[in-house]
Each structure stands twice: as structure tokens, then as C-alpha cells.
């Protein structure tokens, strides 16, 4: 993991506590999230991804909210 600023560490902690089903890391300035559980074919067809990458923590937060919304719509949350 890259050396993080205090603000980035705070963002990382907030993301980890908000989305415990995902492993979140920052590598070379890019924020990555990998789902702990495998994605089923049905989930994939509905737009769920196993991995996400975004340029900053806010963009990753919004992407993860979208993933959570998919799970809620499917009744898998």
C-alpha cells in the first residue's frame, strides 16, 4: 500500500467501515475495492463487479454505493 496522508487514511478507514464486504487499498494513487465474495452470474448480469478502481476516495464511495444498490434491488444485501 502506498504511503497515505492522514486525510487519505481517514477516507480509507471510513470506506472500510462502511463497506465491510470489500477489501479497499490504494495503489499508486488509485483507489481499489475487491469484493470478498465471488460475484454470481446473476449478480454480474445486474451490474455487480468483483473489482472496482477509481481515482479518489469520493469516486470509490459513489461506485460502492451503486454496487450496494444493486445488491439491495436483488435482495442480496
More confident site: 77 or 39? 39
Strand partners, 54: 31
Q: pLDDT by residue (tens digit) across 27-38?
A: 999 999 999 999
pLDDT at 75: 93
Give this prediction's pTM.
0.92
21 near 38, Cβ under 8 Å? no
Query: For the packed helices 57-74 and 6-18, what is the interaxial angle rounded to 10 degrees?
Result: 0
pLDDT at 77: 74
31 near 64, Cβ under 8 Å? no
Q: What is the CB neighbour count within 10 angstroms for residue 37?
A: 10
Amino acid at each position: 500500500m502506498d504511503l497515505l496522508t492522514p486525510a487519505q487514511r481517514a477516507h480509507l478507514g471510513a470506506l472500510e467501515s462502511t463497506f465491510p464486504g470489500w477489501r479497499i487499498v490504494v495503489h499508486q494513487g488509485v483507489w481499489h475495492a475487491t469484493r470478498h465474495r465471488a460475484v454470481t452470474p446473476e449478480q454480474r448480469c445486474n451490474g455487480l463487479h468483483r473489482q472496482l478502481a477509481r481515482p479518489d476516495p469520493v469516486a470509490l464511495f459513489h461506485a460502492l454505493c451503486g454496487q450496494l444498490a444493486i445488491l439491495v434491488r436483488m435482495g442480496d444485501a
